[in-house]
Structure 1
Amino acid sequence: METPIAFIIFKRPHTTEKVFEAIRQAKPPKLFVIADGSRAEHPGEAEKCEATRAIIERVDWNCEVIKNYSDTNLGCAKRVVSGIDWVFSNVEEAIILEDDCVPHPTFFPFCEELLEKYRYDSRVASISGSNYQLGHRRTNYSYYFSIYNHCWGWASWRRAWQDFDIYMKLWPQIQAEGCLSDILEDYKAVRYWSNLFQSVFENPSDQIWDYQWTFACWIQSALSIIPKANLISNIGFGLESTHFTSKKVSPYINMPTEVMEFPLKHPPFIVRNLKADKFTQQTLFKQTAFQLIKQRIKKLIKPK
């Protein structure tokens, strides 16, 4: 393996250890570690952060470990964004994993091959390890293209990340010109994402960054690669989770992973899979989920 990995950690040694073991098996030559600091108002959190960081000291392969540890708590959004900014200031491309996203071993060569293949193709912004089609096979190739850039285990390039803006300054113009209708082609989806983007724009939070990443990709007409089978299992739901503290919130908890077969079978075209995207919108991003997102945003901006 030649591609560097960015590993985002915080205070969960039990999940971090499982992801670290997967990284250890892959043996990347460079490991960028991004860690947030503890919160004084959370007793015992400093010890958890210390225990989590101690896991990184177990690197026992030929690897350059580069650390970016915050002494203070920046919050999920600022820590993740500043960390990824830092990674892409050092390298042109990277595979990115959070401390609760356990990858299948074939996730790494899958990302590595596609990072090289689409390195200079601005039509592609990210490579996802997650597949949320719930068993539906959407392609005869190894992957398909989507407007949804799932980020539970993903990879990207500096050239794509440079369009990211956590404050979504272009949103008022995009909204005024009705651009989402051209992207989504469905009035329910347009209403859903318009409400969501407006909420994020009006109420910037120190916990939300992934919707802004989706927005950044959309306004550049950039697609994401989705594997034909799921390669990531998120084990982070529960009381220690930043966003989702109940297993009932998402049906995607602990999704099983499958092997990606090699050599990869590349599609001979770069066209969005509309059928798969409609399914994603109607399941992962259905209206009831939006109500949960609104509650999440309100909770995050609630005065302390």
Structure 2
Amino acid sequence: MNPVIEIVDSPLEALVQVPVRVRIWIRPELQREQLECIRRERPNCLILVSDGGRTEAEKRLIAESRALFDDIDWQCEVHRLYWENNAGLYTSGSISSEYIWSKYDRCVFLEDDIMFSNGFLRFCADMLERYKNDERIMAVCGMNHEGVSDGPNADYFFSREASIWGTATWRRVNRQVLDFFNDCFSYEHARVMENARLNPDFRRRFKGYCANPEYEGHVPGTEFWRALYAFANNQLYIVPTRNMIINKGCGADSAHSDELSMLPRGMQRLFNAKAYDLEQPLVHPIFVIPDERYEKAVYRIMAVGHPLVRLYRKMARAWKIMRKRGVRSVARKIVSTFAHPKET
């Protein structure tokens, strides 16, 4: 992979001064819609990251998705990090992350299936600037699990729990050294486990990665590290009071989710959720306090620490799969889940 940098000269000026990393993959119809979201706000820098295909069919789809970004029509610095062969999600992600942080101190991150309402990139840019030196804050999140949170009297609030669907963060967060996977930190391990007492999923994964660096079949991903920052360093997400993210990637080609019709209703509502435009000027919160009410709502929605809800959803999902694909499909799904557990 050899990065290619293009400086686009155009009469159309950039509207938002913030680098945006876009992952390009095998769903050109989604990528086309995403590009329209980006074009509305016209960021001054795009970092396009595209792994190579595993099959000839994937290579054709990737080429189609890449071609959509060939004609950026506003003033923009475009970085293209394109792999000819498939390096894998975690390898390409690690290399592209090193590239980004070698050049910029902040960045917005978009997967290929993430759409957003008008004002999201401006919101990220404003938050990245306002909290750039505040070590209490680790990331900006565009998704609100509730859709609209009625409690806060500002346009955003703070939480230790949030989604990684449409986020922004700083180099200072990426360069935190958390060498916790070492026996000499047994005391600290216990404190992390205590802080995460309401999140049994994270506790299981934390213990697993302490014992095996590829506990889930791969190195820890962004979601795990963000959770560790929250529980080990007491760091917080910024969450908008009204949701700004639409995830349209639930389908057969998605990396971390199943077909939408196969998911329980409690999970279906998170995909294709309503997104709200954000008006300026922003109303800022006075205090930096984690919203425990919202955190508990996220746990309930995601069935974290709610074993009966999780059991019901697993049964409902198995029933849906069995009705559509037969009993053997359920058995294969169970085997696949235990062999290669997904991040939740």
Distance 1:279 1:173, change over 3 A: farther
What corresponds to 1:96 in structure 2? 109
Q: Is 2:4 the partner of 1:4? A: no
3-state SS of the aligned residue for 2:146?
coil
Normalising by structure 2, report the TM-score: 0.77
Q: 11-20 or 243-252, which moves further after superposition? A: 243-252
Are residue 178 (structure 1) and residue 190 (structure 2) matched?
A: yes
Shift of 1:36: 1.0
Q: Aligned pairs, how many?
A: 296
Q: Is the 8 A contact 1:148 1:214 kept in 2?
A: no
Distance 1:295 1:97 in 2: 31
Judging changes above 3 Å, is the alpha-carbon distance between structure 1 residues 58 and 221 closer, same or farther for their aligned structure 2 residues?
same
Q: Secondary structure at the match of 1:152?
A: coil
CA positional deviation for 1:168: 6.6
Equivalence map 1:206-217=2 (5 Å): 206=218, 209-217=221-229
Q: How far apart in 2 are the matches of 1:160 and 1:64? A: 24
In 2, distance between residues paired with 1:92 and 1:47? 34
**1:140 matched to 2:117:** no
Aligned to 1:284: 302
Percent identity over the alignment is: 23
Counterpart position of 1:131:
144
Q: What does residue range 236-251 of structure 1 map to in structure 2 within 5 Å?
A: 236-247=249-260, 248-249=262-263, 250-251=267-268
Matches within 5 A, 1:288-299: 288=310, 298-299=338-339
Give the Å deviation of 1:121. 0.6
**Pairwise CA distance, 1:190:** 4.0
Partners of 2:200 and 2:187 lie apart in 1 by 11
Distance 1:107 1:134, change over 3 A: closer
Q: 1:285 to 1:176 in 2, by over 3 A?
A: farther
Q: Which amino acid aligns with 2:191?
A: C
Question: Separation in 1 of the partners of 2:180 and 2:53?
Answer: 28
Residue 106 of structure 1 contacts residue 260 of structure 1 at CA under 8 Å; is this kept in 2? yes
Which is bigger in relative contact order (C-alpha 8 A, separation at least 6)? 1
Paired amino acid for 2:206: F
- Do 2:48 and 2:78's aligned partners in 1 also have CA atoms closer than 8 Å? yes
Q: Deviations over 1:189-213 (max 9, x none)?
A: 2433211333455324348613322
Q: Distance in 2 between matches of 1:171 and 1:215?
A: 20
In structure 2, relative to structure 1, the CA distance for the partners of 1:35 and 1:172 (3 Å cut) is: farther
Change (3 A) 1:59 1:172: farther
Q: Which one of 119, 122, 126 corresponds to residue 135 of structure 2? A: 122
Alignment equivalent of 2:37, drawn from 22, 30, 40: 22
Query: Do the aligned partners of residues 153 and 57 (structure 1) sit closer, same or farther apart at CA in structure 2, a change above 3 Å counting?
Result: same
Higher mean alpha-carbon deviation, 257-266 vs 241-250, is at 241-250
Within-5 A mapping of 1:137-216: 137-163=150-176, 169=181, 173=185, 177-184=189-196, 187=197, 189-199=198-208, 202=212, 203-206=215-218, 209-216=221-228
Cα pair 2:180 2:189 within 8 Å, conserved: no
Q: CA deviation at 1:21?
A: 1.2
Structure showing greater radius of gyration is: 2
Take 2:216 and 2:77, find their aligned partners in 1: how far apart are those partners?
35
How far apart, in 2, do the equivalents of 1:20 and 1:172 lie?
A: 47
Q: 2:282 aligns with which of 245, 261, 264?
A: 264
- CA pair 13-168 structure 1, distance change in 2 beyond 3 A: farther
How far apart are the structure 2 equivalents of 1:20 and 1:140? 32
Q: Which residue of 1 aligns with 2:65?
A: 52
Q: Is 2:312 the partner of 1:300?
A: no
* Structure 1 unmatched ranges of 5 or more: none
CA distance in 2, matches of 1:172, 1:38: 42
Cα 1:139–1:172 change in 2 (3 A) is: farther
1:211 is matched by which residue type in structure 2? E
Aligned pair partner of 1:35 in 34, 39, 50: 50
Query: 2 CA distance for matches of 1:135 and 1:93?
Result: 27
Is the contact made by 1:78 and 1:207 (CA closer than 8 Å) also made in structure 2?
Answer: no
| Separation in 2, partners of 1:72, 1:164 | 31
Residues 175 and 79 from structure 1, CA distance in 2 versus in 1: closer, same or farther, beyond 3 angstroms?
farther
Q: TM-score, normalised by structure 1?
A: 0.87
Structure 2: gaps spanning 5 or more residues: 1-15, 318-333
Which runs of structure 2 are paired with 1:45-84 in the superposition (5 Å)? Answer: 45-84=58-97
Alpha-carbon distance change, 175 to 300 in structure 1, aligned in 2, over 3 angstroms: farther
Which structure 2 residues correspond to residues 212-227 of structure 1 after superposition, within 5 A?
212-218=224-230, 219-227=232-240
